Amino acid sequence: IARYCVPMRQEDRLGAILALLADHGSVGVVETADRLGTSQATIRRDLQALEEQGLVKRTHGGAVPAGVLYELPMRYRGARQQEEKGRIAELAAGLIDESAATVGLCGGTTTSEVARFLGMRGGLKIVTNALNIAAELALRPAIDLVVTGGTVRTESYELIGPVAERALEGFNLDASFLGVGGVSATAGVTTHHEVEAQTNRAMILQSARAIVVADGTKVGRRACARIAAAS
């Protein structure tokens, strides 16, 4: 059982609690406080904060999800597999050579890391449908940034739907980076939301090269909506 030995920020604790709920279906105050290395009073306050956001329902001695947690909200995912995602992103960004001019980035915690590495380079046009990536790259004057329109999906900070797809049709991308909910040989690359999957597929169709960035927890897993077959 993983236990945390240093104090965690509240945002990281909330993400850890939601991850435990997604994995186990319920959490107990005593066990969660022990696992996260904090007090039971702190965990009770965290559960109250999550309940106020409509993410959990408190029970006697713990909590259960307010709904089915297919995926964590984006704001609580950043701390998971952070070191692995950083290494993946550095390697992935290195796959973009000097001849590449236009790169697409969909949403996700690992693609956000890729964006940071690409942002250190100049001479790239980056097209993204992710609001958090756009906010990061807007501060980089050497990057020519294009943001699609679309309907905001609050779980992933992505702009999705017909408006985003029509915007993507106007570009020829040398490469695109995709964050996914799962990747397997049989199910292909998948995500948790069918409209998001369709928008990500639109990015692939405009790309000469599609690069999936996913940490080991996604390998062999399949979510409900297929973005594309493995082929």
Which own/partner contact pairs does 112-118 have at CB distance under 8 Å and 24+ positions apart? Answer: 112/78, 112/136, 113/85, 113/86, 113/88, 113/89, 113/213, 114/89, 114/177, 114/213, 116/89, 117/89, 117/90, 117/92, 117/93, 118/93, 118/143
46: enclosing H helix or E strand: helix 40-52
Cα atoms in the Cβ-side hemisphere of radius 13 Å centred on 212:
21
Average pLDDT of span 153-163? 91
Tens digits of per-residue pLDDT, 193-229?
999 999 999 999 999 999 999 988 889 999 889 999 9
Under 8 Å between Cβ of 211 and 177: yes
| C-alpha distances out from residue 62 to 3, 7, 51, 66, 152, Å | 18, 21, 11, 13, 32
Average pLDDT of span 124-132? 95
pLDDT of residue 11 exceeding 80, the answer is no
pTM: 0.71
Task: Give the residue, 109 or 164, on which the prediction is more confident.
Answer: 164
Average pLDDT of span 27-40? 92
Q: How many CB atoms lie within 10 A of CB 42?
A: 18
